[in-house]
Amino acid sequence: MAERTKETASATPTEQRVQVKLRRNEGQNANQDEFFSINFKNYIIKRGEFVEVPAELKEVIDNGEEALEAAYRFAEEKALNEAK
């Protein structure tokens, strides 16, 4: 576990862990910590650094990234259609 990643519940020894790196937020004063909670386990992950997390948390992060990309695509398509 990286120094800046805090886990309030201890991981089980058989829990699969994977590395993730969250994109940094833009802006000089942007918060670079991200909070996640899964099944009453809380995580704070520092953006822009590789950290080891449980596989279930990586799945949540990946789903969030996919949803964000879908929202960007939708907004771009809507803007293009309105420009016509």
Q: Which domain holds residue 37?
A: 6-83
Q: What are phi and psi of 15, to 5 degrees?
A: -70, 125
Q: How many domains in the chain?
A: 1
- Residue 15 in domain: yes
- Residue 1 in domain: no
- Residue 42 in domain: yes
Sign of CA dihedral 25, 27, 28, 31: negative
Per-residue pLDDT of the chain (84 residues), as tens digits, is: 444 545 545 555 667 999 999 988 888 788 889 999 999 999 999 999 999 999 999 999 999 999 999 999 999 999 888 887
- Residue 35 in domain: yes
